[in-house]
Amino acid sequence: MNSDTFAKTTAIALAAAGASVAVVSCQAASPTEDIVGKRWQVIEVFDDPTLPSAAPENQAPPTITLGQTSYAITTACGNAEGTVKWLDNSVELGKPTATRQTECDPSAKTFATRFEAMARGSYLFTVGPNGLRLSEITDTGSPDTNRGWTAVSLAER
């Protein structure tokens, strides 16, 4: 192989490698990119069909900030935090541990307690025009659309 052929072959190989790198770098962003690091205001909790799903109108709804490995909850009644494990289109949230507790309105306490109880578990997540929706994953591995919670990004409000 002469030097011209070697140069052309090398250039083609490098161009092909560059194209491969370009394709890899143009892949869709991680599904968590729209979720992680944002503060989400929890507007509905779907845990008990006999209870209202919406946050009490007279109280500030809880917020949750989901990080790469942990989450933080703020409610009118205090703060809590837990662990996060991201999977493809699902997330596992560890049991929340209270970091601060304060006196609060009974309706706010009820909603905060319901949300914190729902915070722990495995969820299928979707992000759409109406915000973040987490649907609890059942023992069979399928999502239960009747259990979970909905939140809106505070940055978008």
pLDDT at 122: 93
Task: For residues 48 and 152, give the distance between their C-alpha atoms in angstroms, rounded to a whole number.
Answer: 21
Q: Give, for 66, the enclosing helix (H) or strand (E).
A: strand 63-66
* Architecture of the structural domain at 31-156: Beta Barrel (2.40)
pLDDT 10s digits, 1-22: 554 544 444 444 444 444 333 3
pLDDT at 11: 43
Average pLDDT over residues 91-108: 93
pLDDT at 10: 40
Q: Give, for 124, the enclosing helix (H) or strand (E).
A: strand 121-128
**Mean pLDDT for all residues in the chain:** 81
How confident is residue 95, by pLDDT bands cut at 50, 70 and 90? very high
**Percent helix / strand / coil, the chain, rounded to 5:** 30, 40, 30
| pLDDT above 70 coverage of the chain, percent | 79
More confident residue, 23 or 52: 52
Task: For residues 84 and 140, give the distance between their C-alpha atoms in angstroms, rounded to a whole number.
Answer: 21
How confident is residue 26, by pLDDT bands cut at 50, 70 and 90? very low
Task: For residues 52 and 148, give the distance between their C-alpha atoms in angstroms, rounded to a whole number.
Answer: 13
Cα separations in angstroms, 92 against 11, 78, 120, 135: 46, 22, 8, 11
Q: Which of 83, 87, 81 is nearest to 70 (CA)?
A: 83
Task: For residues 80 and 73, give the distance between their C-alpha atoms in angstroms, rounded to a whole number.
Answer: 5
pLDDT at 45: 95
Task: Write down the domain spans for the chain.
Answer: 31-156
- Provide the CA 144 distance to its chain's centre, in angstroms: 17
